[in-house]
Amino acid sequence: MSEFDAPQAPGPRVWAVGALCRAVADALEARFNPVAVRGEISGFSRAASGHCYFALKDESGQLRCAMFRRAAGLLDFSPRDGDQVEVRGRLAVYEPRGDLQLVVESLRRAGQGALFEQFLQRKARLEAEGLFDSARKRALPAMPRAIGIVTSLGAAALHDVVTALRRRVPHIPVVLAPAAVQGAGAPGELVRSLHSLYALRPRVDVILLVRGGGSIEDLWAFNDEVLARTIVQSPVPVVSGVGHETDFTIADFCADLRAPTPTAAAELVAAPRELWLAALTLLDERLRRALSGRLDAMDQRVDDAAARLARPSTLVLRQQLRLAQHAQRLRHAALSRTQRLTQTQQALQAELPLKFARAMAQRRERLERAALRLQLLDPALVLERGYAWLTGADGKAITRAQHLAPGDAVQARLADGTADMTVVATDTSRPRPTRVP
């Protein structure tokens, strides 16, 4: 075998460039995302579209970053080259150039990493206990009887929520349970305020837990474990509207529903009054149409009845016509029966004498035969032949010798009269009829 005939070892898979980029992106997604990275900003620029582009570097590496306009609009400071920052985002591959880049979802100055690590650990532990289970979360009431709000009296979030509720559902009562939303004592106040609203059930059947945006330190009260368990124990649905759209707290995961902002939380529990009024208007229109159609149908029936009642002569003529038809049928039936009766009578008159004569002859013959049989059965003829009819003292016929005993009085009826006799002896060995000598 020559070297050209030897089997070739299988080579590596041949990828299309775009397919390989997508495969690498999928691997990054499955292996790393989401990620949090700390580093120094380098080459920061903001495009006319509002998107921000920069590199994140340290002494051993550099990573391209892109922060799109939505996330960049939530920054509470202006990033500059040289800033030490912590970012959260997702690793991706920019396929047109095959570049690895980090799509930044939030950015803050460095120094908050320890809190974020504590947040992740607590989140993982509570999630394992089932506090975030979606199966236990409840739907919001379509039209709450009263809406409870837990937030600070001086918070801008309170103004935003109340304004949204007054605009959309001014007819629904609002119950405020004030509490600090920042600081060491905030978690305890939030828990007490929630319990105060729980006591108002069923009048308050949905609760808004809200505050504005801030750093992870500002929002740390909403990562409290006792507060998380209190939210889970709520007898009514709880909507969390804490921070901005990219801010997440433990309270968000425990609540029945998370809203991206406090205003959005208010809008979720308050369908606009105009919507309900439009629905009522539609129902009213449908009811009016149904009622109008029913009334029209009843009016038509009344008109038909009035038309019949207004001309009773028509009914009388109709009934007279029916009576005339019935009378004609009766006359026709009577005439037919009379004809059949006449034909039957004529036939009988023609056949009756012959049938009568035949019937009389047959009956006469049967009578003669019966008379002859009766004569043959006449007991007197038997007595004429020498037999006698014996009866006892009780007048009953004696037909067996064993019924007699010596000394018994018997009477014998003969052809020409009777004779009284006394039994002298009986012989039952050979019974035979009594014969008078």
Query: Tens digit of pLDDT for each residue in 47-98?
Result: 888 899 999 888 888 888 999 988 888 887 788 888 888 888 888 877 777 7
> Residue 132: inside a domain, yes or no?
no
Name the percent of the chain lying above pLDDT 90: 25
What's the mean pLDDT in 264-279?
80
Query: Tens digit of pLDDT for each residue in 193-234?
Result: 999 999 998 899 999 999 988 777 788 999 999 999 999 999
pLDDT for residue 149 is more than 90: yes
pLDDT for residue 3 is more than 50: no
Which among 252, 245, 249 is positioned nearest to 216, based on CA atoms?
249
Q: What is the CATH number of the domain that holds 262?
A: 3.40.50.261
Q: How far apart are CA 210 and CA 239, in angstroms?
A: 8
pLDDT for residue 170 is more than 60: yes
Same domain, 102 and 181: no
Same domain, 157 and 80: no
Q: How many domains does the chain have?
A: 3
Measured torsion, CA atoms of residues 20, 23, 25, 27, in degrees rounded to the nearest 10: -140
> Residue 324: inside a domain, yes or no?
no
Residue 190 belongs to what domain range?
140-272
Q: How far apart are CA 51 and CA 55, in angstroms?
A: 14
pLDDT of res. 95? 72
Name the percent of the chain lying above pLDDT 70: 88
Report residue 437's pLDDT band, with 50, 70 and 90 as the boundaries: very low
pLDDT of res. 310? 55
Same domain, 162 and 78: no
Same domain, 167 and 53: no
Sheet containing 206-211, strands listed edge to edge, beginning at the edge strand earlier in sequence = 174-178, 147-151, 206-211, 238-242, 257-258
Q: Which residues in 254-386 belong to E strands, given as ranges?
A: 257-258
CB of 432 within 8 A of CB of 399?
no
> Residue 353: inside a domain, yes or no?
no
Task: Examine the fold and report which residue of 72, 92, 111 is the final residue of a domain before the chain moves on.
Answer: 111
Same domain, 161 and 92: no
Q: What is the CATH number of the domain that holds 84?
A: 2.40.50.140
What's the DSSP call for residue 245? T
What's the mean pLDDT in 91-111?
80
CB of 238 within 8 A of CB of 256?
yes
> Residue 429: inside a domain, yes or no?
yes
Same domain, 21 and 72: yes
How far, CA to CA in Å, does 65 sit from each of 72, 89, 215, 271? 12, 9, 21, 40
pLDDT of res. 316? 73
Report residue 436's pLDDT band, with 50, 70 and 90 as the boundaries: very low
Cβ contacts of 163 within 8 Å, gap of 6 or more: 263
What's the mean pLDDT in 227-249?
90
Measured torsion, CA atoms of residues 363, 365, 368, 369, in degrees rounded to the nearest 10: -110
Q: How far apart are CA 436 and CA 422, in angstroms?
A: 14
> Residue 254: inside a domain, yes or no?
yes
Same domain, 106 and 147: no
> Residue 344: inside a domain, yes or no?
no
Task: Examine the fold and report which residue of 272, 291, 320 is the final residue of a domain before the chain moves on.
Answer: 272
